[in-house]
């Protein structure tokens, strides 16, 4: 019996029990946090900071090693013998053309965070660089861009790759439901249907809820920053709450119109607006400087990626890595079930190799281009134009993008476009997240009910609100780091699970092929002393194995 049949017979394709339990427990955990923050915001802020200090001190190394390990593992799978296995049946082919698929990856790679930090991060690193560098220098500017590439490059997309690959493989090739727990069948067997499997799904739901809420909080801060810059609206907590309420109503309307109407329309709008804004800044800004920055920084990033991936500061106790790198790694891990599920759904029929290379390279390259354009323009204005961008960012980080755009021709129009883009990203992210959370808490149902989606929509906005009330940006970062730790551990075991499934799958494919063709595998000596795998048929004639079977 081949591995697929063995897994499917055990799974039995019956309706899984406990969907309501998963939904109820997840909602109660999130609701308890929301009530704590609503009634005791100071207590929440203090306890969160205490937990953050403990986790970064005790487990900061784990975040760095795990994230780098995910990247190495993804690259290994792409170029291993498993790279030719398809995410689906052997005769399946991609549902979407490469251009369409790359466009979807582009859409998944965009978000509120990219708009928020596109200017703010490189300029923040310029004034407060890592490695003990002096702020405000050319070296600080180069290092600032380098770490922006690092935080938004291959590691984040390696995290998404592991989740998306696991979901797509077990869903499309093995026929399981689109649940995180389903990816653990090779390790846990039928226990994925019991308490252990439910715990895995609950942790995935909670991590996703807090990861998305972090982005919604960032979006709220920057929408307020844009409105303050354009219209003089005060930037305070009351306005933050009003923004969340208004945008919540918008994405609730979108969520109840269905996936093909609301999310699809907004996603297309996001791509059009983001591309237009990017091109305007590219050609209205210092174009040659932007391309020089892209080339130089990309070279430095590729040269130093291993050193940067494993950098901690045990002898100086500097908090820079904790405030930036650990926050980002935790944020990506918390977002992974959400983004991974989206990527998995549009990748059926692709080989593991083309899937991994596409997911790793295309969004990363776009992020590099985005930071070179916006961050490079801001640093050019600061260093050579003496426009005091850095001072403005230190005073109010949410204003970084708008102050930079103001210095360009058509600055007011660009700032208004950026504000519109943030709003549409806010709505799209929240809309998509309610759909994904609904699926995860409904045992993989591809059409969760509006009641479930509305419940998660309200809870997401509530999380963002209480985090802003209890400490603003710092609390948003803290929540991501704390909630992502258990899910990071789940991802480590997920790597072992998919590796075991791939080994069994490949062995079964080889046995079936040899049985069908009457061949056996032999090793043929070559002049250089190496050996090549060949097929030896019953008539003792030896031929090289076809490329598709290597």
Render pLDDT for 110-146 as a digit per residue (tens, 0 to 9).
Answer: 677 788 889 999 999 999 998 778 988 999 999 999 9
Tokens of 312: 């901690």
In this prediction, residues 66-81 reach a mean pLDDT of 94
Q: Which residue has the higher pLDDT, 68 or 469?
A: 68
Q: Which residue has the higher pLDDT, 537 or 264?
A: 264
pTM, to two decimals: 0.83
| pLDDT per position as a tens digit, 348-376 | 899 999 999 999 998 899 899 999 999 99
Long-range pairs, 470-475, Cβ under 8 A, ≥24? 470/37, 470/41, 470/42, 470/44, 470/45, 470/48, 471/41, 471/45, 471/48, 471/49, 472/221, 473/217, 473/218, 473/221, 473/397, 474/45, 474/49, 475/44, 475/45, 475/48
Q: Are 470 and 46 in contact (CB under 8 A)?
A: no
When mean pLDDT is compared across 94-98, 205-209, 448-452, 478-482, the lowest value belongs to: 478-482
* Helices 138-151 and 287-309, packing angle to 10 deg: 70
Confidence of residue 165 (pLDDT cuts 50, 70, 90): very high
* Residues facing 86 on adjacent strands: 351
In this prediction, residues 34-41 reach a mean pLDDT of 78
Confidence of residue 151 (pLDDT cuts 50, 70, 90): very high
When mean pLDDT is compared across 117-131, 264-278, 337-351, the lowest value belongs to: 264-278
In this prediction, residues 289-302 reach a mean pLDDT of 95
What pLDDT sits at residue 108?
Answer: 64
Backbone conformation region of residue 529, classed left if phi is above 0, alpha if psi is from -120 to 50, else beta: left
DSSP 8-class letter at 135: T
| pLDDT per position as a tens digit, 401-443 | 888 998 888 888 888 888 888 887 777 777 777 878 888 888 7
Is 195 exposed, middle or buried (CB count within 10 Å of its CB: 0-12, 13-18, 19+)?
exposed
Q: Are 110 and 274 in contact (CB under 8 A)?
A: yes
When mean pLDDT is compared across 56-60, 328-332, 486-490, the lowest value belongs to: 56-60
d(CA 530, CA 71): 30
| 137-to-123, 140, 313, 399 alpha-carbon distances in Å | 11, 5, 22, 22
In this prediction, residues 494-518 reach a mean pLDDT of 81
What pLDDT sits at residue 501?
Answer: 92
Q: Which residue has the higher pLDDT, 524 or 304?
A: 304
Confidence of residue 545 (pLDDT cuts 50, 70, 90): very low
Mean of the per-residue pLDDT values for the chain? 80
When mean pLDDT is compared across 149-158, 248-257, 384-393, the lowest value belongs to: 248-257
Q: Which residue has the higher pLDDT, 1 or 40?
A: 40
In this prediction, residues 155-174 reach a mean pLDDT of 92
Confidence of residue 531 (pLDDT cuts 50, 70, 90): very low
Q: Which residue has the higher pLDDT, 99 or 532?
A: 99
Q: Are 485 and 153 in contact (CB under 8 A)?
A: no
In this prediction, residues 512-518 reach a mean pLDDT of 68
Query: Over pLDDT 70: what percentage of the chain?
Result: 83
Tokens of 518: 């009457």
Residue 51 has pLDDT above 70, yes or no: yes
In this prediction, residues 384-411 reach a mean pLDDT of 85
What pLDDT sits at residue 464?
Answer: 81
In this prediction, residues 528-535 reach a mean pLDDT of 46
When mean pLDDT is compared across 11-25, 91-105, 460-474, the lowest value belongs to: 11-25
Residue 518 has pLDDT above 80, yes or no: no
In this prediction, residues 160-177 reach a mean pLDDT of 91
What pLDDT sits at residue 459?
Answer: 84
DSSP 8-class letter at 318: -
Q: Which residue has the higher pLDDT, 38 or 283?
A: 283
Q: Are 363 and 110 in contact (CB under 8 A)?
A: no
Q: Which residue has the higher pLDDT, 542 or 388?
A: 388
Q: Which residue has the higher pLDDT, 532 or 41?
A: 41
What pLDDT sits at residue 513?
Answer: 65
DSSP 8-class letter at 191: G
């Amino acid at each position: 019996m081949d591995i697929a049949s063995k897994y499917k017979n055990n799974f039995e394709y019956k309706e899984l029990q406990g969907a309501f339990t998963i939904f109820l427990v997840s909602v109660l955990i999130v609701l308890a946090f929301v009530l704590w923050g609503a009634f005791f915001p100071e207590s929440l802020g203090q306890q969160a900071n205490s937990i953050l200090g403990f986790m970064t001190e005790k487990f900061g190394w784990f975040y760095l090693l795990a994230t780098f390990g995910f990247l190495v593992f993804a690259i290994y799978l792409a170029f291993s013998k498993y790279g030719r296995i398809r995410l689906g049946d052997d005769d399946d082919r991609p549902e979407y053309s490469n251009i369409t698929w790359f466009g979807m990856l582009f859409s998944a790679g965009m978000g509120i965070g990219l708009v928020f930090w596109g200017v703010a991060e490189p300029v923040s690193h310029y004034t407060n660089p890592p490695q003990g560098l002096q702020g405000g220098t050319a070296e600080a500017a180069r290092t600032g861009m380098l770490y922006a590439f690092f935080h938004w490059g291959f590691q984040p997309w390696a995290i998404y790759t592991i989740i998306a690959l696991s979901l797509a493989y077990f869903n499309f090739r093995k026929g399981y439901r689109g649940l995180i727990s389903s990816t653990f069948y090779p390790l846990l067997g039928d226990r994925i249907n019991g308490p252990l499997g439910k715990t895995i799904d609950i942790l995935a739901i909670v991590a996703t809820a807090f990861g998305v809420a972090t982005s919604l909080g960032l979006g709220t801060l920057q929408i307020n920053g844009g409105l303050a810059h354009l219209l003089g609206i005060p930037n305070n907590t009351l306005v933050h709450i009003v923004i969340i309420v208004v945008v919540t109503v918008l994405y609730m309307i979108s969520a109840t119109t269905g996936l093909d109407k609301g999310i699809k329309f907004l996603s297309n709008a996001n791509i059009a607006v983001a591309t237009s804004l990017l091109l305007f800044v590219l050609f209205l800004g210092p174009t040659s400087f932007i391309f020089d920055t892209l080339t130089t920084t990309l070279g430095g990033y590729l040269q130093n990626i291993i050193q940067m991936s494993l950098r901690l500061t045990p002898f100086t106790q500097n908090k820079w890595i904790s405030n930036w790198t650990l926050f980002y790694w935790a944020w990506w891990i918390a977002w992974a079930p959400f983004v991974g599920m989206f990527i998995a759904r549009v990748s059926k029929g692709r080989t593991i190799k083309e899937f991994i290379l596409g997911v790793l390279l295309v969004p990363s390259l776009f992020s590099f281009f985005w930071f070179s354009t916006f961050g490079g323009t801001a640093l050019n204005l600061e260093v050579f134009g003496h426009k005091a961008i850095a001072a403005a960012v230190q005073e109010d980080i949410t204003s970084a993008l708008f102050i930079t755009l103001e210095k360009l021709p058509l600055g007011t129009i660009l700032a208004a476009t950026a504000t519109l883009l943030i709003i549409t990203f806010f709505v799209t992210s929240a809309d998509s997240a309610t759909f994904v959370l609904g699926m995860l808490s409904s045992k993989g149902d591809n059409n969760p009910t509006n009641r479930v989606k509305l419940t998660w929509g309200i809870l997401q906005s509530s999380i963002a609100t209480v985090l802003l009330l209890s400490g603003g940006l710092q609390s948003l970062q803290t929540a991501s780091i704390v909630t992502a730790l258990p899910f990071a551990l789940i991802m480590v075991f997920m790597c072992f699970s998919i590796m075991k499934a791939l080994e069994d799958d490949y062995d079964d494919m080889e046995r079936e092929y040899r049985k069908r063709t009457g061949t056996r595998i032999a090793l043929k000596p070559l002049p250089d002393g190496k050996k090549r795998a060949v097929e030896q048929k019953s008539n003792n004639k030896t031929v090289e194995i076809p490329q598709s079977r290597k």
